[in-house]
Chains A and B, each alone.
Chain A
């Protein structure tokens, strides 16, 4: 799309390429921004959830009478009270709204309660008597594979399957279960209308899919359920699936009163899906000159009890199993198992994170075997525009500046090589465990690739509406502002396309606009942004052609340098344009896992510098340098924020973040023991944005949210290997993996 930005409007502030401040920033800083947790309504009831204490059990009976007998309790609902479809699910509706006959994971909802205050609701939830017949949980994903308890099997075969190289390296890798741990816990408010319908205001990444699932399970007409975008305290994949949404609407319609629910942190850890733990077996074959000849991988992701997005995550892991490299012969086997472990689904990076840890370890191993510099080995094999993705064979038709990324990483200045001597900068921090003499430093590199937007033939679209009013341009969308800055960037797009300085984004409910798709897969800037750009451009063109003008700005329509229609007159005409934007079409895979499966790709590379106390196995990530393929940075400061935040989640996965699940039970569902990096764990980060034209995103923009999380973990693991010489085939790296290996 060409935007001939005229000289007159060129100097307005907050256009594409600028970094205007967040319009919601001050409200958030003053504590005035309204999150789902903060909502209230007249006559509001509070809800609570009864959860299974067993990972697998048959429900013998549920006695709700003791709960109903408590004063102030208005409703206790079980599976029998679900009027419509008994199950939900993003891809396959296999998860019960409330478990009726069998519970399949620890913490699965069995009943819901509404009462006059939160404490009463929680007491009532405790008073519900559920008799269980405890069954053996299936918790070993390999056993699940053997028993064919799987959500999806993938097989990708590309190229000559008999190809072999001079040198072979093999490896086995594991990734632990990471949690998105957004700071805002699941929360929502459902308000019944007087006609049997309901308005839902809840934490979400995708209000239209929430609405569809509420409609199905409540047995209502679509127009009776309106799901409203609401203030969300972070998401990272945790809010793509429904959790309290159907429950709240059931209770609201049952009681005829507004009902609010807020999960506690321990519930949040069971109430949303996690990043899939992975086991991965790899075999790389290469010629002596370093050219990859064949890659074989077997990737086992445990999906836990219900489907969620396991199929798509598994597919992504398989498609990106080789990484951003060409290879003429590939075989990837993928298994997404069904067990009685906590359900897993979307988290930032979506399958690409797990395999990046493995393929980058393999590349380093291969480099060492061949005696080639690891960066040089990557250069020899890089995937560039025009070449086919090693797995699917899809030719890459988007910019893929991997050479620039590798060159930049190598060229970026290294930190002072002196080990710091202040406690805060050493492994162990304020614990005063470590002196500089006990520290070894390591450096590691990794690059990663991922698709942008939805793939495999999914009809991925977003609708946006742009209006020109006396308050300036208004952009309407049902996309979700989860913190990433969509509220800023869509206004920038509107300002730039329309040539006006005032633009505002309004998040509207499902009845007022069609879907914006999911706020995931790094897709909103490209897709809802694309819709916004197209709508704004159409609006401008329409106004100009109506008045035969050649320029639009804050003052109005101009022709040959003369103002011919003032803005006041234009806004009186209530112009608006609504556009549905689709990315280039994709296809489902053929029987060998090949085809034009993805719409766009993005890359990032990371260089990690770590200090390791080998004897105690403690790590401090000193610095991460990164270069990222962003297409075009619509808001460079915002991109930097995504990069720094994404890297930190990679740091967490590398050295501390893991949900410990034994016998199907999460042992650390709290912030005392699920450790998120603190400001004292934050490395210095230097980021370089690599811009290159050619993506179909607005102004050539690519999604930027996920790439920072994909290869940062792998780079840190490589740096720990470099420092210690230990194999490090598992993340998070635990002290014993270094000290006792």
Chain B
């Protein structure tokens, strides 16, 4: 096995080959290695690249750890960060890694979807920025080309006024989400609802958003209808972690509660 430790993005991109396996916090890749599912031969370790740790305003470097985000991130993202794995995982794991792995259950992803974040990618042939919904293509499948490095996650200049994150799991810490959700609401009523663990990729419940965004002071029955719509829009499966029926139910309940928090 070869490993390189570039210190600049340019150095990194100049030496990328078809075989290169990027390594950031290691919290996803090393699980695969330890279980014998992957045996990378050419590893590029990214944690010495200063630029990736840079966090300026709404642009979060891909190497920023969940620990930092838990401390310094916008409310909805910080709340999500607090639930990523364990303290040990949050000290190592990065937002770029969460984005690159693109797990349907990625705890950090619903916030990015809710605020319409974009992912900045760079290769030796240039830089491009993809909105989240063009970046996430399927279960652990993204639009990143092999030679591209995730440089940053860019949030909009102005974030919605109210943000709330919630995650359902049967353990009080260190648990893969059965459902996770972010709801944001702006002063003008514009409401976004994004969910994880209920579809192949993080998704938005657009019908529910549309319905509730137009109502300035939702009534109880509006809230019930909102929850019903969320539950009908998600596309969960039954697996060893939960059932389709429960995930639908919990999606609606959780989205409604988070909306209530935004409206308080």
Residue B178 is within 8 A (CB to CB) of chain A in the complex? yes
Residue B73 is within 8 A (CB to CB) of chain A in the complex? no
B-chain residues with CB within 8 Å of residue A264 when the two chains form the complex: 35
Residue B120 is within 8 A (CB to CB) of chain A in the complex? no
Residue A144 is within 8 A (CB to CB) of chain B in the complex? no
- Ordered by A's residue number, 16 sampled pairs between the chains whose C-beta atoms are within 8 Å are A428-B169, A430-B82, A430-B83, A431-B180, A432-B166, A433-B166, A433-B167, A617-B246, A675-B170, A678-B174, A679-B173, A680-B171, A680-B172, A681-B171, A735-B170, A740-B249
B-chain residues with CB within 8 Å of residue A153 when the two chains form the complex: none
Residue A53 is within 8 A (CB to CB) of chain B in the complex? no
Contact assessment for A656 and B171 in the assembled complex, using a CB-CB cutoff below 8 Å: yes
Residue B29 is within 8 A (CB to CB) of chain A in the complex? no
Contact assessment for B254 and A677 in the assembled complex, using a CB-CB cutoff below 8 Å: no
Contact assessment for B249 and A656 in the assembled complex, using a CB-CB cutoff below 8 Å: no
Residue B126 is within 8 A (CB to CB) of chain A in the complex? no
Partner of A428, one of B82, B172, B174, B176: B172
Residue A668 is within 8 A (CB to CB) of chain B in the complex? yes
Residue A395 is within 8 A (CB to CB) of chain B in the complex? no
A618–B250 Cα distance when bound, in Å, is: 11
Closest 10 A/B residue pairs (Cβ): A429-B172, A431-B167, A667-B240, A736-B246, A680-B172, A660-B240, A680-B173, A681-B172, A678-B173, A675-B171
Give the one of B165, B169, B177 with max A CB within 10 A.
B169
A735–B36 Cα distance when bound, in Å, is: 33
Residue of B nearest to A424 (CB): B172
Residue A672 is within 8 A (CB to CB) of chain B in the complex? yes
Residue A266 is within 8 A (CB to CB) of chain B in the complex? yes
B-chain residues with CB within 8 Å of residue A660 when the two chains form the complex: 240
Give the one of A429, A679, A680 with max B CB within 10 A.
A429
Contact assessment for B240 and A668 in the assembled complex, using a CB-CB cutoff below 8 Å: yes
A122–B240 Cα distance when bound, in Å, is: 27
Residue A292 is within 8 A (CB to CB) of chain B in the complex? no
Q: Mark B217-237, 1 if CB is under 8 A from A, else 0.
A: 000000000000000000000
Residue A655 is within 8 A (CB to CB) of chain B in the complex? yes
Residue A254 is within 8 A (CB to CB) of chain B in the complex? no
Residue A702 is within 8 A (CB to CB) of chain B in the complex? no
Q: Mark A548-590, 1 if CB is under 8 A from B, else 0.
A: 0000000000000000000000000000000000000000000
Contact assessment for B172 and A735 in the assembled complex, using a CB-CB cutoff below 8 Å: no
B-chain residues with CB within 8 Å of residue A673 when the two chains form the complex: 176, 240-241
Partner of B254, one of A430, A616, A656, A667: A616
Chain B residues packing against A (C-beta within 8 Å) = 35-36, 79, 82-83, 164-178, 180, 239-243, 245-246, 249-250, 253-254, 257
**Given A266-B35, A735-B178, A739-B246, A431-B253 contact (CB < 8 Å):** no
Give the one of B168, B169, B170 with max A CB within 10 A.
B170
A681–B171 Cα distance when bound, in Å, is: 7
Contact assessment for B171 and A677 in the assembled complex, using a CB-CB cutoff below 8 Å: yes
A424–B82 Cα distance when bound, in Å, is: 12
5 extra interface residue pairs, beta carbon distance < 8 Å, beyond A680-B172, A735-B246: A431-B169, A616-B168, A618-B170, A734-B170, A734-B246
Chain A residues packing against B (C-beta within 8 Å) = 122, 126, 264, 266, 424, 427-433, 435, 438, 615-618, 620, 655-656, 660, 662, 667-668, 672-673, 675, 677-681, 734-736, 739-740
A-chain residues with CB within 8 Å of residue B180 when the two chains form the complex: 431
Contact assessment for B170 and A656 in the assembled complex, using a CB-CB cutoff below 8 Å: yes
A122–B173 Cα distance when bound, in Å, is: 33
Contact assessment for A431 and B241 in the assembled complex, using a CB-CB cutoff below 8 Å: no
A438–B254 Cα distance when bound, in Å, is: 12
Give the one of A424, A427, A433 with max B CB within 10 A.
A433
Contact assessment for B166 and A431 in the assembled complex, using a CB-CB cutoff below 8 Å: yes
A122–B171 Cα distance when bound, in Å, is: 33
A54–B220 Cα distance when bound, in Å, is: 52
Residue of A nearest to B174 (CB): A678
Contact assessment for B249 and A739 in the assembled complex, using a CB-CB cutoff below 8 Å: yes
Min CB distance, B88 to chain A, in Å? 13
A679–B171 Cα distance when bound, in Å, is: 10
Contact assessment for B168 and A435 in the assembled complex, using a CB-CB cutoff below 8 Å: no
A-chain residues with CB within 8 Å of residue B164 when the two chains form the complex: 432
B-chain residues with CB within 8 Å of residue A122 when the two chains form the complex: 36
Partner of A430, one of B172, B178, B241, B243: B172
Give the one of A122, A432, A615 with max B CB within 10 A.
A432
Min CB distance, A696 to chain B, in Å? 42
Partner of A620, one of B168, B172, B246, B250: B172
A255–B9 Cα distance when bound, in Å, is: 51
A-chain residues with CB within 8 Å of residue B168 when the two chains form the complex: 428, 431, 433, 616, 618, 735
Contact assessment for A740 and B257 in the assembled complex, using a CB-CB cutoff below 8 Å: no
A-chain residues with CB within 8 Å of residue B165 when the two chains form the complex: 432
**Given A432-B79, A433-B167, A433-B257, A678-B245 contact (CB < 8 Å):** no
A430–B168 Cα distance when bound, in Å, is: 10
Min CB distance, A437 to chain B, in Å? 10
B-chain residues with CB within 8 Å of residue A677 when the two chains form the complex: 171
Partner of B83, one of A431, A616, A672: A431
A739–B257 Cα distance when bound, in Å, is: 15
